[in-house]
Amino acid sequence: MATEIVVDTETTGLVPKEGHRIVEIGMVEIEGFTRTGRVFHRYLNPERTMPREALEIHGLTDEFLEDKPLFGEVADEFLEFIGQSRLVIHNADFDLGFINHELAGVSRSRIPPDQVLDTLQLARKELPAIGFHNLDALCRHYRIDRSMRTKHGALLDAELLTEVYFRLNGGGQGLFDLLGPEERSTSAPSVVQVKQKPRKNKLKPLLTSEETVAHSEFVRSLGDSALWNSVAAPKAASDPVPESRKLPAAD
């Protein structure tokens, strides 16, 4: 199965041509809608001051970023991580615009748009009725816990987007089970609905006819007011199980 990379960035602003830069990159590798366990996470020195509006979004201060590497120092590592994999990005025009601007600034090849899947466009197509399609709205729709998202963070948002991407494609693994010990302590399990398929061959009953008869005699000894009588337990192994008490079929 093809490898995909879920990507998110944090920046100093909205427009790279106005001098704004990437300050954080978070990436999660997946294969066949399953996390491989490989992630990429780097904070970057933007070589400029942080505007107040951006600071309020991600909380990354000038002091915190001043000793972090420049984009050019991690560019090759970044490109090696993504390789030829398809990139999965929410509102791809924004992040890809910044990434390509940074790559051009260090004389590296740009990432072509056809290597990118925009989950914003996918969500608008799959969920036209929910109104808003930002990451918070999609997490609310799919009941994905985002309580740890007090500020935007590239790796955290890439993890949340990974879960949203799985759900948009009809699956889901549960973010809680796939994070490390530190992340797991602040996360909650997400609910996954699994559609059961009919079993091709019925299972043989585990109870013998003698055990079933013995159970029936025990229930009768409890009297007519016994709770068991209200669920219509079968009287013998040959008796059909009432439709109301049949368990769903499973693989």
Active site residues: 152
d(CA 161, CA 50): 25
84/164 Cα distance (integer angstroms): 23
Q: At what angle do helices 92-105 and 71-82 cross, to 10 degrees?
A: 120
Sheet of strand 86-89: strand arrangement: 35-43, 22-31, 3-11, 86-89, 116-118
User: What are residue 185's phi and psi, to 5 degrees?
Assistant: -70, -20
- Report d(CA 28, CA 160) in Å as an integer: 10
Neighbour-count burial for 187-207, b at 16+ CB within 10 Å, e otherwise:
beebeeeeeeeeeeeeeeeee
SS (H, E, C) 78-146: HHHHHCCCEEEECCHHHHHHHHHHHHHHCCCCCCCHHHEEEHHHHHHHHCHHHCCCCHHHHHHHCCCCC
Residue 7 near residue 27, CB atoms below 8 Å: yes
